[in-house]
Structure 1
Amino acid sequence: MIDIPELSVYATLAETFPEPVFRPWLELLPAQLARAFAADRHGDWPRWREVLRRLPPIQPAWVNLNVDAVQLKGRADAAAELALIETLLRELHPWRKGPYDVLGIPIDTEWRSDLKWRRLESAIQPLAGRTVLDVGCGNGYHAWRMIGAGAERVVGIDPTLLSVVQFLAIRHFAGDFPVYVLPVGIDDVPPNLGAFDTVFSMGVLYHRRSPLDHLLELKGCLREGGELVLETLVIEGGAGQVLVPEDRYARMRNVWFIPSCPTLESWLKRCGYRNIRLIDVTPTTAEEQRSTDWMRFQSLPDCLDPANPGLTVEGLPAPRRAVFLAEGS
């Protein structure tokens, strides 16, 4: 599919997704991947590719995808080889989603993504045997947890090339699982594909200029009766209430709409979803999002009012996140 040895994982996509329903996207993917991995697309891609090339070919003794820090256990030939692996993985800074344990090297990511997984794993439809799409998946942490929960196949999409490279580094040590992270966005998925049993969109909706269009895009990815798992920022309030930041929100530029839970429920109904359920609302704390040695930039504590942690530095309500479940029609 693309003639770069470090990207050979993508050569098996057609075999993993042979059903005709996937054909419209599979026909577009070679060009999409070629654009994403073009030498002039990102100035750091040659350096990141060299990191992937230099990772030692260590086969994991075993992989545990059902623990908070996804574990890849194996044996390096010497302490020097383990030190090299850690040095190379640190070249892929910043690590935002995780945590991971790679051959005994703990990757303490900015987000404790395992906490989000705990809030939803028992409420969603069982993933056993399901084909899953994870929109805005970052480096694929949740995709690995989905495979651990029994999903038959998982596709993650994220246009951030560094996140995709981090996934490829993890997969290098994890081995051959039916999980992929593609360097594309939801706009690159053919409309009304109708191919996935479960679609996750976590931490994406508030970054979209048109949230209803995003909900319709997600619905188009679902097969009839499939389940949407939607996680996003929300505000306290009643029906019709939406926060539209004038400029930044918690230092982020690209936050457009933060609805109340009743408003988001009405958006889902307007888009044709059924059996809509709010399963969790949780304020985001520094236990879940913070700077670490693997993500040394500003994080949540730097984005809150030091005199009132209930507000952002802009004076807006501090982050709280909700999880909704819904079925496509």
Structure 2
Amino acid sequence: MIDYTQLYAALQHIPALRPWLAQLPDQVAEGLSPHRWGDLPDWRAALDALPDIAPSSIQLEDKVRVGSASDASQDQLAELEKQLRKLHPWRKGPWDVFDLFIDTEWRSDWKWERVLPHLEPLQNRLVLDVGCGNGYHCWRSLGAGARRVIGIDPSAKFVAQFYALKKYLGEEKPVDLLPLGIEALPPGLQAFDTTFSMGVLYHRRSPMDHLRELRETLRPGGQLILETLVIDGALGDCLVPEGRYAKMRNVWFIPSCATLESWLRKCGFDNPRTVDLDTTNFGEQRRTDWMRFESLADFLDPESPDKTAEGHPAPKRAVLVANTP
């Protein structure tokens, strides 16, 4: 069910991406290797067991909604929920699939609404989403008019979640999720009109390298959408947690907005600017029946919720946009 045949065929007709085909199938095979992901056979079995249901409607513009309960029998709806729950935890969404509401940890639709006013029109654009999770924003990009969307994320479970949903959203639609990190992309692509990097930068040991990698994905005049953790502060301020941050081990750099704008200029971007600043709250990130592990409330100091459990400033997230010259 995880099938990239249509993507490979489409890349033949995109000159800037065609050379990638020489190595991409091997990269995909490595990214979906059961030696790396011991649970992958179980996730594939869940995909294979999903019932065949033809949706009466598909909505991608203001939400992601597929069909209604009347499109399926009660047995099919029960089997659908059973198999989708085998792909727990569901972190990015929400998704409405035949009136089954997948209430994900993150209200990714809220983030999309903050980003949307600052996007250059996506009509007919080639879009890359780096670290896309299960692809929520990939589908919203398609709904906004993109001609093809490629998401990359090294987690095979996110890939499985994506293809579970694509079964109903449309296997023929020009949206794909590759089991890769950005380092797998050939250098100097200059292929994409719009590149998203949301919730990734602070996980990179070298933020400058990540920003340069992002720049190389974009054609001249392309737009970067960067969303990441930030701190309050002036130019040059940056938090480098020595231990964990909000119980996460892999948080390396959290700059101020002014510092991050400076990094973007240093890496060759034009006109970097902060367009949104938002403190994460319990409505946007929380534990749900579809994500039963710890979430934001567990990551903060219960006596002082403006601080993380370690005493750092509580999560604040900024959206920055910039262009390639």
TM-score using structure 2 length: 0.97
Following superposition, the deviation at residue 41 of structure 1 comes to: 2.2
Q: Secondary structure at the match of 1:25?
A: helix
> Structure 2: which 5+ residue stretches go unaligned?
none
User: Which of 136, 139, 148 pairs up with 1:144?
Assistant: 139
Q: Where does residue 242 of structure 2 map in the other structure?
A: 246
Deviations 1:7-47 (A, max 9, x none): 22x10113323122102222211101111222322110000
Q: 2 CA distance for matches of 1:119 and 1:317?
A: 22
User: Which of 66, 75, 84 pairs up with 1:72?
Assistant: 66
Q: Where does residue 28 of structure 1 map in the other structure?
A: 23
- The answer to whether the Cα contact below 8 Å between 1:76 and 1:82 also exists between their aligned partners in 2 is no
**1:223 counterpart = 2:190:** no
Q: 1 CA distance for matches of 2:72 and 2:176?
A: 28
Identity over aligned pairs, percent? 56
Deviations 1:140-189 (A, max 9, x none): 00000000001111000000110010000000111121000100000000
- The answer to whether the Cα contact below 8 Å between 2:55 and 2:71 also exists between their aligned partners in 1 is no
One-letter amino acid of the counterpart of residue 140, structure 1: G
Q: Where does residue 273 of structure 1 map in the other structure?
A: 269
Q: 2 CA distance for matches of 1:168 and 1:270?
A: 38
Runs of 4+, deviation exceeding 6 Å: none
Change over 3 Å in CA distance of 1:76–1:88 after alignment to 2: farther
Q: 2 CA distance for matches of 1:31 and 1:96?
A: 28
Q: 1 CA distance for matches of 2:9 and 2:183?
A: 24
Q: Secondary structure at the match of 2:7?
A: helix
One-letter amino acid of the counterpart of residue 322, structure 2: A
- The answer to whether the Cα contact below 8 Å between 2:56 and 2:71 also exists between their aligned partners in 1 is no
**1:315 counterpart = 2:311:** yes
Q: Secondary structure at the match of 1:121?
A: helix
Q: 2 CA distance for matches of 1:262 and 1:277?
A: 9
One-letter amino acid of the counterpart of residue 14, structure 2: E
- The answer to whether the Cα contact below 8 Å between 2:54 and 2:71 also exists between their aligned partners in 1 is no
Tell me the C-alpha RMSD between the 2 structures.
Answer: 1.0
Q: 2 CA distance for matches of 1:167 and 1:159?
A: 13
One-letter amino acid of the counterpart of residue 16, structure 2: V
Q: 2 CA distance for matches of 1:172 and 1:133?
A: 21
Q: 1 CA distance for matches of 2:154 and 2:224?
A: 21
Q: Secondary structure at the match of 2:101?
A: strand
**1:128 counterpart = 2:123:** yes
- The answer to whether the Cα contact below 8 Å between 1:39 and 1:46 also exists between their aligned partners in 2 is yes
Q: Where does residue 210 of structure 1 map in the other structure?
A: 206
- The answer to whether the Cα contact below 8 Å between 2:279 and 2:317 also exists between their aligned partners in 1 is yes
**1:98 counterpart = 2:78:** no
Q: 1 CA distance for matches of 2:103 and 2:72?
A: 24
> Structure 1: which 5+ residue stretches go unaligned?
1-5
Matches within 5 A, 1:282-293: 282-293=278-289
Q: Where does residue 86 of structure 1 map in the other structure?
A: 81
Q: Secondary structure at the match of 2:17?
A: helix
Following superposition, the deviation at residue 77 of structure 1 comes to: 4.1
